[in-house]
Structure 1
Amino acid sequence: MPQDMPPVGGYGPVQYKRNLPARGFRPAFYLLGTAVVMTLGFYKFGQGVREHNELAREKMWSRIHLIPALTAEEDRDQVRRYLADRAREKELLGTETQVYNSNRFVRPTFAVTPEK
């Protein structure tokens, strides 16, 4: 038997590398996309913070401008209560009594107590 010899011209090259196709984009594209999304997110976040601060400032100034109207309303309510108390006192006692020893006006204070 004759010994097997290589073919004339030799054997073809042996493929020892893995020939896998690249899946997806290159990592640089993913990095760039992430940077773009994060930049847009930070921009929108900054816009939201500015809008929130502007709304808070507007709310504060609206409350400041409402203080005189609310104070006047409270004063009218206290005068109404004061006159009603004096009328009730005169009806019960037949005369007006003086609580304090001076004629100086003392702003009344009302305490709200819970009902039992």
Structure 2
Amino acid sequence: MSEAQELPRKGGYPNISYTRRLPKKGPTGIVMLAGVASIMAYGWYNVFNGIRERRELEREKMWGRIYLLPLLTAETDRDEYRRYLAATEREKDIMKNVSGWPAGKSVYNTDRYITPTIPNIPESQRN
């Protein structure tokens, strides 16, 4: 048996391509930077608009309270006067047997007006 060495064909074998030729995947760094910057700009735009809107709502609430103050003061005064009359009537009824008792006289030794304190009694504890 004769042994023959295997040789390349005439003209040789073609060159083997060993360089990496991968396709580009995804956006470039500049495109990603521009995308992140645009998303952040949109977010900051919304933040500043929200701050401006919240400030306007707080201003509106403040002016609403300012405009309601005279109405609430008048309502409080009427309620205070009604309670004063009721307390004076109760005092007259309780002290009717004591001669010379001045019903409705202030217990304070001053000429200044002292705002009466109104106890807040829960409904469950009232008689």
Q: Fold conserved (TM > 0.5)?
A: yes
CA positional deviation for 1:3: 5.3
Cα distance in 2 for residues equivalent to 1:35 and 1:21: 27
Aligned to 1:112: 120
Partner residue of 2:21 out of 3, 19, 22: 19
> What residue identity is the alignment partner of 2:37?
A
Distance 2:109 2:41 in 1: 71
Query: What pairs up with 1:1-116 in 2 under 5 angstroms?
Result: 5-94=7-96, 96-97=102-103, 98-100=105-107, 104=111, 105-112=113-120, 115=125
SS of 2:87's equivalent in the other structure is helix
Moved more, 26-35 or 67-76: 26-35
Report the Cα distance in structure 1 between the residues aligned to 2:59 and 2:77, rounded to whole angstroms: 28
Pairs aligned (count): 116
- In 2, the alpha carbon distance for the partners of 1:10 and 1:65 equals 100
Instruction: For residue 2 of structure 1, report the CA deviation from its aligned partner.
Output: 6.3
**What is the rounded CA distance, in whole Å, between the counterparts of 1:51 and 1:108 in structure 2?**
41
Gapped regions of structure 2 (runs ≥ 5): none
Deviations 1:46-105 (A, max 9, x none): 111110111111111211222221111111111000011111222232364334476845
Give the C-alpha shift of residue 5 in structure 1: 4.9
* Aligned CA-pair RMSD: 2.7
Seen in structure 2, the aligned counterparts of structure 1 residues 7 and 103 have a Cα distance that, compared at 3 Å, is closer
TM-score of the two chains, using structure 1 as the length reference: 0.77
TM-score (norm 2): 0.71
